[in-house]
């Protein structure tokens, strides 16, 4: 998976802050949150005491240069803890660096607050509260999150999304939402503020990437419990080794037992666990997605079913009028005229496209004829809109069955060829809007909804990893079937109401499945709240964004695929490094256990398959390898294991081969190389045959 927002791994500033953070995190109160590394820190403290008082835990007869040996163990343990803290500090440092860049967009701008009497007053953006109305003109920064209530303008959102091309924001429809910190490029907007200071999406994103609001996910907590259990088991084993050694005539220095404990407990994954979690959240934010919790990101990795709203998700969303199809006995000009009249006060993209197409066809409507007219807004219940003219003429346009029911209610007749026209439009993947004047049906407006490029390939990728896709739409079954087939989804629900979306989500969840939902409208809010993963569009309504646990600042609904892959990559990375860490213990076992006993029990030499020079070099080599492998794995923990769509069984086999087998082989090579380097040095210092 290619990260289009990838930046330099560690900058000079991040490195400097991470080094300072590594020392700051040595505080025992902080280290207790990571039990595995806390055990290592306790070991360091004991080794430090032994370096000062070699006989603190008993006589050391027969041990050469024990003080120097204890110092070596102490230093290596200290470096191990520092490297673990450094890994977490690097992850946090990258988040803080991103937060600083986001804070640059939070300038203390001046806002033109509109009072109730229509006058303006200039106030600081920090003084704005929810419900305030502000005016923003070309060149001015939008002071806080809000919804456009009047005006149309191009907005530069590059400071937030990284996309250089300005986007259109207008009142009504799906493009009314604006984000604080973005800049109006042209025209003007009247905006109603939708968040109080400190509660905007930008504020939430800054808090998220700084790590202040990051909590451990259920999977992370479960893994930490496993690591603590393994640590306790190994500690019990190590404690019993001392009396066994005394019984066998082997003097086991406390420093050696500490070294054995540190090498055998899962220090590698223990050191990197927090960094993996922070880095997973960091990768999501680098795709311009605000995750309200780490649990949401992790849940993405387990998604089984994806519910997708059609309009704006599978299709581009702005259905455009493509043609006017009259019924028999009605001219195209008459249908076009009344279709345009019904749409003059319709601020939706569809309504505007009807007026634009009418003008293109040479039909000019006298807007003065609407003076005193009453515009009838579209509702989910009536599924139609229109206008009541002053002369008593009522014009309606809407779903065919709704118009038919409306006309019949007035005592009108339905043209025989109407059904054929609506079916024709539906089969072509379009949306038919039927137009009537009073109880007389005039014909159909053909609205064309285009499927987004590349969706077939994206849905195929989802299918390959076992995720079922279901399209929900309010369109009739024929239109829904056409769009579903063209897009390549696994299923669809036509004439779908908000309660239908919730029903299908609950049905999937009842089967034990994890469900993801994308949406941008107020009618999507209940379903977004019900889903395990709810991804709302930043261009959508406030209700949708508040109901979801993720918000896409790019307003690209198909990005759910990338979010799912990030979630899976997070789980795979954690699992792979856990496998690698546990596999490491096998090699360390063959390095340390024979070294501890082979001086008294020569038969143990058989287990010294790495042919290490001496017991001391074997123990110190394993301990040094245990320390240096942590910083070596930081880049992998931060960037994640490369994710490829495949079945769970294939993924398990692949990880076992790469990280399981690799976790056994790498320490054998690493410990042997370190032993070859330090053995001559230890001999010079008189530690070659220590113990």
> What's the CA gap between 424 and 432, in Å, rounded?
9
Can you say which residues are annotated as belonging to the binding site?
346, 350, 378-385, 397, 520, 524
> 523 vs 160, which has greater pLDDT?
523
In tens, the pLDDT along 62-103 reads 455 778 888 998 999 999 999 988 888 877 776 666 556 555
Can you say which residues are annotated as belonging to the binding site for ATP?
346, 350, 378-385, 397
Q: Give the contacts of 555 (CB within 8 A, at least 6 positions apart).
A: 167, 520, 537, 538, 539, 540
> What's the CA gap between 666 and 659, in Å, rounded?
10
pLDDT reading at 375 higher than 50: yes
> What's the CA gap between 663 and 578, in Å, rounded?
10
In tens, the pLDDT along 313-326 reads 777 666 788 899 99
Q: Give the contacts of 689 (CB within 8 A, at least 6 positions apart).
A: 64, 614, 615, 616
Least confident interval from 152-156, 490-494, 611-615: 611-615
In tens, the pLDDT along 106-139 reads 555 778 888 888 788 888 877 888 889 999 988 8
> What's the CA gap between 434 and 398, in Å, rounded?
6
Lookup: tokens for 669 = 């090579």
In tens, the pLDDT along 537-585 reads 876 777 777 788 888 877 776 677 778 888 888 888 888 888 888 888 7
Sign for the pseudo-dihedral over CA of 321, 325, 329, 333: positive
Sign for the pseudo-dihedral over CA of 522, 167, 294, 643: positive
Q: Which of 132, 145, 203, 309 is catalytic?
A: 309
Are the beta carbons of 143 and 128 closer than 8 angstroms?
A: yes
pLDDT reading at 397 higher than 90: yes
Q: Quote the mean pLDDT of the chain.
A: 81
> 139 vs 45, which has greater pLDDT?
45
Q: How many CA atoms lie within 13 A of 601 on its CB side?
A: 18
309 is catalytic: yes
Confidence of residue 290 (pLDDT cuts 50, 70, 90): confident
Confidence (pLDDT) at 4: 42
Confidence of residue 422 (pLDDT cuts 50, 70, 90): very high
pLDDT reading at 382 higher than 50: yes
Confidence (pLDDT) at 212: 43
In tens, the pLDDT along 196-243 reads 877 776 676 566 555 544 556 667 678 788 888 888 888 888 888 778
In angstroms, what CA-CA distances link 528 with 19, 160, 504, 522, 543? 41, 23, 12, 10, 10
Share of the chain above pLDDT 90, in %: 17
pLDDT reading at 166 higher than 50: yes
Share of the chain above pLDDT 70, in %: 84
Domain architecture of the chain: domains with CATH: 12-97+210-285+564-685 (no CATH), 303-314+452-553 (3.40.50.1000), 318-450 (3.40.1110.10)
> What's the CA gap between 211 and 53, in Å, rounded?
41
Write down the pTM of the prediction. Answer: 0.62
């Amino acid at each position: 998976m290619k990260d289009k927002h990838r930046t330099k791994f560690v900058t000079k500033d991040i490195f400097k802050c991470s080094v300072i953070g590594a020392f700051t995190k040595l505080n025992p109160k902080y280290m207790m949150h990571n039990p595995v590394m806390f055990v290592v820190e306790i070991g360091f403290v004991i080794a430090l005491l032994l370096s000062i008082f070699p006989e603190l835990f008993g006589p050391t007869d027969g041990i050469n240069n024990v003080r120097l040996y204890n110092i070596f163990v102490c230093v290596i343990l200290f470096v191990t803890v520092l490297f673990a803290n450094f890994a977490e500090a690097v992850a946090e440092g990258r988040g803080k660096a991103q937060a600083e860049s986001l804070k640059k967009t939070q300038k203390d701008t001046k806002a033109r607050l509109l009072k109730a009497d229509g006058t303006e007053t200039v106030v600081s953006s920090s003084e704005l509260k929810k419900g305030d109305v502000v005016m923003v003109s070309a060149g001015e920064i939008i002071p806080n999150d809000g919804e456009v209530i009047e005006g149309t303008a191009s907005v530069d959102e590059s400071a937030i999304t990284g996309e250089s091309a300005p986007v259109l924001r207008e009142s009504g429809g799906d493009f009314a939402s604006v984000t604080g910190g973005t800049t109006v490029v042209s025209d003007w907007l009247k905006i109603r503020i939708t968040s109080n200071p400190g509660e905007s999406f930008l504020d939430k994103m800054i808090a998220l990437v700084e790590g202040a609001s990051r909590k451990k996910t259920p999977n992370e907590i479960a893994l930490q419990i496993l690591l603590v259990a393994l640590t306790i088991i190994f500690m019990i084993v190590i404690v019993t080794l001392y009396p066994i050694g005394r019984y066998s005539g082997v003097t086991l220095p406390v420093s050696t037992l500490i070294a054995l404990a540190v090498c055998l407990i899962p220090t590698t994954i223990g050191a990197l666990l927090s960094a993996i979690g922070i880095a997973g959240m960091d990768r999501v934010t680098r795709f311009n997605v605000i995750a309200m919790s780490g649990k949401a990101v992790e849940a993405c990795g387990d998604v089984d079913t994806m519910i997708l709203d059609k309009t704006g998700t599978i299709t581009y969303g702005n259905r455009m009028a493509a043609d006017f199809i009259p019924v028999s006995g009605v001219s195209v000009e008459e249908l076009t005229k009344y279709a345009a009249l019904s749409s003059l006060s319709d601020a939706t993209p569809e309504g505007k496209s009807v007026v634009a197409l009418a003008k293109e066809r040479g039909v000019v409507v006298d807007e003065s004829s609407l003076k005193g007219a009453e515009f009838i807004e579209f509702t989910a219940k009536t599924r139609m809109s229109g206008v009541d003219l002053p002369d008593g003429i009522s014009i309606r346009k809407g779903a065919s069955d709704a118009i038919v029911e409306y006309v019949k209610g007035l005592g009108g007749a339905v043209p025989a060829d109407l059904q054929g026209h609506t079916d024709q439009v539906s089969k072509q993947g379009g949306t038919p809007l039927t137009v009537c004047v009073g109880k007389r049906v005039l014909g159909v407006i053909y609205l064309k909804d285009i499927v987004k490029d590349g969706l077939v390939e994206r849905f195929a990728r989802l299918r390959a990893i076992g995720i079922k896709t279901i399209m929900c739409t309010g369109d009739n079954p024929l239109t829904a079937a056409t769009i579903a087939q063209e897009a390549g989804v696994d299923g669809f629900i036509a004439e779908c109401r908000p309660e239908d979306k919730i029903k299908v989500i609950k049905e999937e969840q009842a089967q034990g499945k994890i469900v993801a939902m994308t949406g941008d409208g107020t009618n999507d809010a209940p379903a977004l709240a019900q889903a395990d993963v709810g991804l709302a569009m930043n261009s959508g309504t406030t209700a949708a964004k508040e109901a979801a646990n993720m918000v896409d600042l790019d307003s690209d609904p198909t990005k759910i695929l990338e979010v799912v892959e990030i979630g899976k990559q997070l789980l795979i990375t954690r699992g792979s490094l856990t496998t690698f860490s546990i596999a490491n213990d096998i090699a360390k076992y063959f390095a340390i256990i024979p070294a501890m006993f082979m001086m008294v029990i020569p038969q143990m030499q058989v287990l010294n398959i790495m042919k290490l020079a001496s017991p001391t070099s074997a123990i110190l080599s394993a301990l040094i390898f245990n320390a240096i492998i942590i910083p070596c794995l930081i880049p992998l923990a931060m960037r994640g294991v490369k994710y490829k769509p495949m079945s769970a069984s294939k993924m398990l086999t692949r990880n076992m081969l790469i990280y399981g087998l690799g976790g056994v082989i790498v320490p054998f090579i690493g410990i042997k190389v370190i032993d070859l380097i330090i053995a001559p040095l230890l001999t010079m210092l008189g530690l070659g045959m220590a113990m």
